[in-house]
Amino acid sequence: MPLLVMKFGGTSVADLDRIANAAKKVQKEVDRGYDVIVIVSAMSGKTNELVKWVSDTSTFYDAREYDAVVASGENVTAGLLALRLQEMDIPARSWQGWQVPILTTSQHGAARFVDIPRDNIDQKFAEGMKVAVIAGFQGVSPEGRITTLGRGGSDTTAVAFAAAFGAERCDIYTDVDGVYTTDPRIAKKARKLDKISYEEMLELASLGAKVLQTRSVELAMRYKVRLRVVSSFEEIDETSGTLVCDEDEIMESKAVAGIAYSREEAKITLFTIEDRPGIAAAIFGPLADAGVNVDMIVQNISEKDYDDDHPGAVTDMTFSCPIDQVARAKKAMEDARAQGLINYDELIIDDDVAKVSVVGIGMRSHAGVAATMFKALSRENVNIKVISTSEIKISVLIDRKYMELAVQALHDAFELEKA
């Protein structure tokens, strides 16, 4: 039998009526002749509630017990969906992570997949089971403890199962009907994409698009899992949603596929640091050790400074990071200076910035993307603070108050409303 993986997010299984709706969508795929593996999230809001219960019970909680509590939300959903399917005379069974077993590392709260043995589920399919409902977001460590994969881990679970079982496709059911050229709440002309490449989707996800979790796209790209993003609340056919696939499946790519943004950014500048070999390692090593996710980096041109404090060449270093990591970044730099690893005159934090990015595999073969981007921002008097580029993206850091204006201007400049 061909096999399909279906994943339902929290809003898609938020209550018993929505679980019944999800069951109907599973039934349609069974009627089409598929064996189905369904990955479910916890009911909407349940994970946050469980996390709060843990925090309210224990300030410095045991991470193993945190995982045991927080993973229970997906277990409830899996059992309820299996029951609903059984009521519809569909042979279904729920599976918790340890029952599969989904083998992971021991890093509680942020575990990674090691292996998903197929034997148990394959045997049940051979015995007549049509649907395996798997609790997403969880697995089991080598020590036999329940682990969780981090927020958004159910997307990654779905892709991992699709890869392990050689599924024809992995359908991600969510509260939107596909991947758009940008956020429709900001740009009314935003257009739903029929197809998008793994690389483009990975960039958009990592740059702030919330449709798919970044790790899930990485995994899909590595194992060539065809992903489809569809709505839980609409009738679905073969043309529905957005297919995330290999670049070869896309006939012709526009220079830019989409615009991503992130409000929660901060810019940190170290003024008057030594310009010498190893200075970058001395700065970004401690930041990495502190768990700071550095993104955009700019080093100014060196200046000669021959006063008593700076007897050699000096420069400035600017980098961006998520706003919730600013305190860690500042402490890491202050500690590095106290230890004599680096020296700087001043550390300035700008926590009122946003990142806006244009993404597209077509940039490889289209000239002038940067010029179009910068002209569009200039026409709106949007000042660029930092620029970062890769083969298929250009990101800029701007004042946060101009973020929505910038997104709209860029969407218009690249005519993304046109197919």
Annotated binding site: 7-10, 47, 74, 174-175, 180, 185, 210-211
List the binding residues for ATP: 7-10, 174-175, 180, 185, 210-211
Strand partners, 140: 103, 146
Rounded to whole angstroms, the Cα distance separating 85 from 133 reads 10
Task: Determine contact, residues 90/30, Cβ cutoff 8 Å.
Answer: yes
Q: What are the start-end ranges of the H helices in 224-368?
A: 279-289, 326-338
Task: Determine contact, residues 303/313, Cβ cutoff 8 Å.
Answer: yes
Q: What are the start-end ranges of the H helices in 15-142?
A: 16-31, 46-57, 63-70, 72-87, 119-126
List strand residue ranges (DSSP E) for 240-295, in order. Answer: 242-245, 258-274
List the binding residues for substrate: 47, 74
Rounded to whole angstroms, the Cα distance separating 159 from 148 reads 16
- According to DSSP, residue 320 is labeled E
Task: Determine contact, residues 70/135, Cβ cutoff 8 Å.
Answer: no
Nearest to 385 by CA among 268, 279, 292: 268
Q: How are beta strands 393-399 and 346-359 bridged, if at all?
A: antiparallel
Task: Determine contact, residues 174/22, Cβ cutoff 8 Å.
Answer: no
